[in-house]
Each structure stands twice: as C-alpha cells, then as structure tokens.
Structure 1
Amino acid sequence: MIDQHQYSVTVCSLSNSNYFTEVDHQITGGSERQVKYVVDALLANQIPVQVLLTNSNNNVSNDIDHLSIKNLWSEKSNFIYKIFKLSLSLITSNRYIYLRGLSWVHLYVIFISKLLGRRVILAMTSDIQCVKSDSLYINLMRKLSLFLASTILSQTNKQKTLLNNNFHVNSSVYHNLISSKYLNKSYEIKKTFEYREIDALWIGTIEPRKGISYLIDLAKKFPDKKISIAGNGRTREKDFESEMMNQLNSLDNVSILGFVQPSLVGDLISSSKVLINTSPIIDKSVTKEGFPNVFLEAWLFGTPVVSLFHDPDDLLFNKDLGRICNDVESFYYSINELSEDDYMWNAISEKCETWIKSRDIYFDKVRNELKEILFFDD
C-alpha cells in the first residue's frame, strides 16, 4: 500500500494553455485534460502536487489544499530566461516528476530531473509518438526521452507494443481517466434514447488527420439523420477548415456548433445517440489518436461510439461499447443501425456506463490504482 504522506509530485504542463488558470480552452487539448484529471485524483487523496505552467494569461490561484501552481514564463520571455526558470523550478521540485508526451523541452526536463535524482513518470499521448519519425533529430529526442524516463505509461496495449518494437523500451499500460464531477455527470440521471435528438455527433479538431471529410458523404447518404459537429481548426489549418465548413454548411442535416467548452460537452453528448470517430490511418498503421478523451466522455453519458479504424485496446469490440468499422460502408451502416434500434442502443449504453466507472476518478478504487502505478519503485 502507498502512504500518500510520503509522496509529492511535480506536474509539468508546459503547453500554451491549461485547465488550472485558463477560462477559454479552445487551444487546450486532450493531454492537458488528462493532466487535470491526474492532479484532481492526487489531490482527492491529499497528495501534495506542484503544477508548473507556462504562458498562463490569468493570475495563478493557490487556494486549493495540497496544490501549488507556478507560471514559469510568458510568450514574450526569451530562451535564456525560460531555461533559467525551468532549471530553478526543477531544482526545487518534488521527488516525482510527471509529464505527458515527447518533445525537446520535455527531454530537457527529464535529463535535468534525472541528474537531480528525481523519478520521472512519462505518460504517452498519440500513437504517432510511439513510432519512428522520418526525422533523425526527432527520433533522437524520442529515444533519449524514453531511455532516461524512470517509468513510461502507455495509453493502450498497442502503444506498449509500438514502443517496444520501435524503441526497445518497456512500458506499463494505463488507460486515460475521466472525471464525472468535472463534467457534471450524475449516474442517477440519464437521457434516454427517445429524448436524444442528435443522431450522430462528431467532436474534434478540424484538421486533415481527424478525417472530418467522411461526414460529408455520411450526411449525403442519410439526409434524414441529424448530424452535429463540435470543434474548430488550428491557425495553420484555416484553409482546410474553411473548405470543410463550406461543404458541410451546404447540407441541411448538418449543424456546425463550433468550439464547445469541455465542462459543457456533457449536455451535447447526452443529447446524441452515437458519437462518431473518423480518424484515418496516417502512417505505419497508426492514427493521430491514443486513447481519445471523447470516447471516455461518450461512455460516461451512456453514448455508444462508432469508430472508423480506431479501437483502443479493442474495447469497442470486446466490451461492446459501440462499433469498430474497418471500411466506410460498415461505418455508415453501424451509425444508421444504432441511431434507429433503441433495444440494441439501450443494451450497449448500459455497458458503457458500467465500464466507465473503472476510469472515473470519483471512485476510490480508480484513485488508488493511479497512486500504485505512479509511485511504484523498481
């Protein structure tokens, strides 16, 4: 058993946005969401947590017990200042360092932390980062980061295999978390099939690697189906976003909702019969996904997932939490079937709400499992 009073964690969230101080989360991704859930789970068990942030636009609050938050720099800070502030913070950091994803700045964090005798817990993000890149420099960064990390957490068994095959490192599989409290979910309340007016919901970033173009054919094939799209594009993909929006806006059965704040996404999902995922295979048999947050959010609200190509640890197939489709025709068929057959939908929906409790940090068992995997010493 882990004694929480013996442990403390420094969490590095060195991206352009975060879930601790920012009000507008339009540029905040799934990795930052998982950082928030990990921190909340540790705090619920009274484990001291320090969070290192960057580019925070709002004042940092430290009003929560056992939590300290430090903003290291702003966008205008120069490189030398950033290195100085980061190094100083690592010198005074806690024994355990937690970070997500591979990058050059994370490699620096890992290297300095190891020199200081810290235990570094590196959690993986996208499947893409688990395979070799065409760039020798990126491969070097990935190899060194994985070699130096004390503990590597892969999101799925597929990621574990990819890391072993490509970089010859071992990792522990730990599925992503969810917070019913953050998403205002009560297990006693559920919107039933007949009150879900959206037939198919798509949530994501509007970019080529998310496969949103499949929705155009879906809407044309089933003009009687109500399809809703939540999300926006990145600055570098504005031309692609404009092209997709022009085509989708011309379809009467498609609603473009734009960006929806994460804390409000539950209302949208609970009004939908199915959530759809269209991320295509990009390269080396991987998609941009890892273990998508939106899958967990759908299951939390009893919404089956219909996915084209991506099924994290075969949960859709083995646990019957929706449908995995390896071709477009079966994808369209499954969406049509689950949005019409209430008997089948109810059976799958119940399984979704049962399984998701194994990842919800509201439950003691989930938080205790997190402690065990984070604080395991070889």
Structure 2
Amino acid sequence: MKICIVGLDDYPQLAKLKNAKYVGGESVQHVLLARAWRELGHDVSMIVHDHGQGRVTEVDGIRAVAPYARDEGIPVLRFVHPRLTGMLSAMREIDADVYYQSPAGVATGITAWFCRRHGKRFILRIASDLACIPGKQLIRFWRDRKIYEYGLRRADLVVAQSEQQRTLLEQNYGVKSEVLDMAVEMPSGPQPDKDIDVLWVSNLRPVKRPEIVLELARRLPKVRFTLAGGALPGADDYYRTVLEAASSLPNLSCPGAVPYTEVGAMFSRARLFLNTSQIEGFPNTFLQAWVRGVPVVAFFDPDSLIKQRQLGHTATDLEDMASAIVRLLGDDVERQRIGERARAYAIAQFGATHIASRNLEMLAARDTPQVLRYGTSG
C-alpha cells in the first residue's frame, strides 16, 4: 500500500536535524509511524515544509516531498499559492492510497477534499482535546477553523487518543471515532545516572504553563528541576520571558530546545517527569517517561490512566503537586515500584509497529471493500 503522512512540520524530526528550533509531539508520532509502516513493507511518503533540502528527498527509505517553505509567498495571498496549490500538487504527485494527517488545521480540510475528489482514504488523528471543541482549537482564523471542521466531518477514520476525545467529538460534531494508543520509541543502550530530580519537557507556550515549574522551583529549593524546550514560531517573546524569570532560580536548569535524538537520555536521567498543562491530548512525553520507568506527576490525566494504573500522581492543585514531588523523591522504593509498573505498561501497549498496523486495520473495518482492493485486510 502507498501511504502519505501530511505533516508539514515533520522534516526536522525525520532527518534528525540538530539545529531544529521546533519539533512537536505530532512530528514524533508521524515519524515513528512512517518508519513502522516502512518496516511493514508499505511505500511511505511525507509532505513537509522545505528547509532547503529540495523538493523531493529520501530519508531512511521514506520519501519527503516539500511543496513550499514555511514563510514562502505573500501574506494573505499565500493561502492559495503556494500553500493550497502546493499541497494539492504534492498529494497528486505522491498518489497514495491512504493519507494520514494531524494536528487540527487547514491541512485537515485540504486533505479531506483531495481524498474525496480522487477516491483516496483519509485517516485523521486527533492531537488535543481542544480539537474536539468548537471555537477552542488552536487555529487563528475563523476561516481556517471552518476548513478544519469540513475535514473532520469527512475523514474516513478519525482516531482519538482517549475516551474523553471520543465523547467530545460525538457530542460537539456528531463524529464517530476510534480510540487508539500512541506509539513510543523503545530506549536502547545503558541507562545513565539519575541526576535530574524533576524533568519538564515541552515547547514553551502559555497552554503548557511552564511558569508553574518556576513556582515549584521557588517552593522546593532543594529539588533539582530541568525545564527543557524551545520557542514556538512567533512566540520568542514569551520564551525569553520564561527564561529570564528562570535565571534567578539556582535549582532550575533551562537547556533550551533539546533534539529528539538526545531527549531520550534526558528522560532516563530523571527521577520524575512533570506535566503542568491543564488540557492535552495524550502527551508523547508521558510515554517517553513511562517506557524508561519514570513516574509522571501531572494535572492532566487522560481517561484517568495515571490514577487507575498507578503510573504516577494526578495533582489537584499546586500544593498537591509540590507534596507529591517531595513524597515520591523521598521514597525510592515506591518511586521505583511505580516506574517498573509504568515501563511494563508502555512496552506492552505502545509499540510503533502495533499502532501502525491498528490504524490500517481500523480503516479496513470502516470500508472493507475499498481496503481489500489494496490487499491490506489482514
């Protein structure tokens, strides 16, 4: 089968560019799936931004087609050219059987329209609870939200990350979806010493609430915190504000953006992983922590997974979060017991090849005659 992943931000992750300023969780998922589908014998392509690599490149047996650069074109007019025309041209050039896209945005609607127009299959993955709530999506313009909603309602398969997302999609859009776990890359090599007490990893933006890490560092001066992450495009001022505030805290380290190829070692060095968001989808970072035996302390708990499977601590407020950090750091036996449980769960549930196969199996169940024609009914 020919599969195309529409992930414009994915090239730095695919090519392992060390100077990448921004790598999001969806790019991590896309590249894990691309490699898994390739290993399963499929012909895999990706539509990405042009970072100077050329229109068509191949990385590890995966074809990357770059129709335009992120800032190419004249503002306002570039919505049509090069963005709309470039994406449609790239999709026609690739001529895949299945197109896979996330996160919520204009690309959702464009991909859905192309697939309907040309008889292709479309898998849409929901990346955040906000994508399921009208008007709450992290999409700037009303026009773009409507284009996203057009695509959401026309996907052949919508893959949600949690039962919460499935319920929201049904209630708010009348869209049925399937819940499927995310993929995680299994760690390899010797494990380093645990020299980070509490690790926080994400892109620095308000919805992730990194300022809470600063407050925890003030309250717990004996705990060593590491706040790792770069700025989103256009959010440099916010990034600088956070780093300036962090500079006065001797127990808080801010290494900036860490390449994905190196961030795994950082997780392995941590005793606890901290998430301060109030709303998420299913964070890649939870899986990166659990697969290395690191408990998660967070406000957000997808489908109460942390609480029900005892994979860390779900905090009710800042005081509770601080108390949980102190308690878990002070009890090596309990922390290691939670970590072992988390590692076993992650290894059993989140292998990339399994998740890649399940996407196609779910699509086959939605439209058996079409998928049988491509020989992937399993």
TM-score range, shorter chain: 0.7 to 0.9
Give how far 1:15 is off: 3.4
Give how far 1:36 is off: 0.4
For the residues of structure 2 that align with 1:27 and 1:120, how far apart are their CA atoms? 26
Distance 1:242 1:151, change over 3 A: same
1:276 aligns to 2:274 (yes or no): yes
Distance 1:136 1:71, change over 3 A: closer
- Letter of the 1:10 partner, please give it: C
Q: Secondary structure at the match of 1:297?
A: helix
Q: 8, 26, 33: which one pairs with 1:31?
A: 26
The superposition leaves residues 100-127 of structure 1 with CA deviations (integer Å, 9 ceiling, x where unpaired) of: 1222233122112111111111111121
The superposition leaves residues 1-37 of structure 1 with CA deviations (integer Å, 9 ceiling, x where unpaired) of: xxxxxx2212112237542236133222111111101
Match of 1:53 in 2: 48
Q: 4, 15, 32: which one pairs with 1:10?
A: 4
1:163 aligns to 2:166 (yes or no): no
- Is the contact made by 2:3 and 2:45 (CA closer than 8 Å) also made in structure 1? yes
Give how far 1:94 is off: 1.2
The two structures have a TM-score, normalised by structure 1, of 0.86
For the residues of structure 1 that align with 2:233 and 2:4, how far apart are their CA atoms? 31
Q: Secondary structure at the match of 1:162?
A: helix
Q: Secondary structure at the match of 2:366?
A: coil
Match of 1:4 in 2: none
Q: 65, 71, 74: which one pairs with 1:70?
A: 65
1:91 aligns to 2:84 (yes or no): no
Question: Percent identity of the aligned residues?
Answer: 23
Count how many residue pairs are aligned between Structure 1 and Structure 2: 354
Give how far 1:84 is off: 3.5
For the residues of structure 2 that align with 1:140 and 1:62, how far apart are their CA atoms? 34
1:352 aligns to 2:338 (yes or no): no
Distance 1:84 1:145, change over 3 A: closer
The superposition leaves residues 254-292 of structure 1 with CA deviations (integer Å, 9 ceiling, x where unpaired) of: 111111111111111111110101113xxxxxx1x2111
- Letter of the 2:291 partner, please give it: L
- Is the contact made by 1:15 and 1:55 (CA closer than 8 Å) also made in structure 2? no
For the residues of structure 1 that align with 2:10 and 2:191, how far apart are their CA atoms? 35
Q: Secondary structure at the match of 2:282?
A: coil
- Is the contact made by 2:107 and 2:148 (CA closer than 8 Å) also made in structure 1? no
1:115 aligns to 2:133 (yes or no): no
Q: Secondary structure at the match of 1:220?
A: helix
Give how far 1:236 is off: 3.2
For the residues of structure 2 that align with 1:18 and 1:117, how far apart are their CA atoms? 31
Give how far 1:81 is off: 4.3
Match of 1:104 in 2: 106
- Letter of the 2:2 partner, please give it: S
For the residues of structure 1 that align with 2:33 and 2:128, how far apart are their CA atoms? 18
- Point out where structure 2 has 5 or more consecutive residues left out of the alignment: 368-378
The superposition leaves residues 27-64 of structure 1 with CA deviations (integer Å, 9 ceiling, x where unpaired) of: 22111111101111111111111222222322453264
- Is the contact made by 2:22 and 2:233 (CA closer than 8 Å) also made in structure 1? no
- Letter of the 1:239 partner, please give it: D
For the residues of structure 1 that align with 2:32 and 2:363, how far apart are their CA atoms? 14
- Is the contact made by 1:317 and 1:324 (CA closer than 8 Å) also made in structure 2? yes
Match of 1:369 in 2: 358
Distance 1:258 1:118, change over 3 A: same
- Point out where structure 1 has 5 or more consecutive residues left out of the alignment: 1-6, 281-286
- Is the contact made by 1:185 and 1:301 (CA closer than 8 Å) also made in structure 2? no
Distance 1:94 1:16, change over 3 A: closer
- Letter of the 1:291 partner, please give it: F
- Is the contact made by 1:22 and 1:58 (CA closer than 8 Å) also made in structure 2? no
- Is the contact made by 1:22 and 1:57 (CA closer than 8 Å) also made in structure 2? no
For the residues of structure 2 that align with 1:330 and 1:85, how far apart are their CA atoms? 50
Q: How does 1:171-320 map to 2 (within 5 A)?
A: 171-180=177-186, 184-186=187-189, 189-190=190-191, 195-280=193-278, 287=279, 289-308=280-299, 310-320=300-310
For the residues of structure 2 that align with 1:303 and 1:34, how far apart are their CA atoms? 20
- Letter of the 2:147 partner, please give it: M
For the residues of structure 1 that align with 2:312 and 2:83, how far apart are their CA atoms? 45
The two structures have a TM-score, normalised by structure 2, of 0.86
Give how far 1:190 is off: 4.3
For the residues of structure 2 that align with 1:315 and 1:190, how far apart are their CA atoms? 26
Give how far 1:97 is off: 1.0
- Is the contact made by 2:203 and 2:232 (CA closer than 8 Å) also made in structure 1? yes
For the residues of structure 1 that align with 2:10 and 2:267, how far apart are their CA atoms? 27
Distance 1:33 1:216, change over 3 A: same
- Letter of the 2:200 partner, please give it: W
Q: Secondary structure at the match of 2:104?
A: coil
Q: Secondary structure at the match of 1:62?
A: strand
Q: Which deviates further from its counterpart, 54-63 or 342-351? A: 54-63
Match of 2:371 in 1: none
For the residues of structure 1 that align with 2:235 and 2:99, how far apart are their CA atoms? 33
- Is the contact made by 1:8 and 1:49 (CA closer than 8 Å) also made in structure 2? yes
Give how far 1:157 is off: 1.1
Q: Which deviates further from its counterpart, 100-109 or 254-263? A: 100-109
Q: Which deviates further from its counterpart, 134-143 or 290-299? A: 134-143
For the residues of structure 1 that align with 2:261 and 2:36, how far apart are their CA atoms? 17
For the residues of structure 1 that align with 2:317 and 2:33, how far apart are their CA atoms? 35
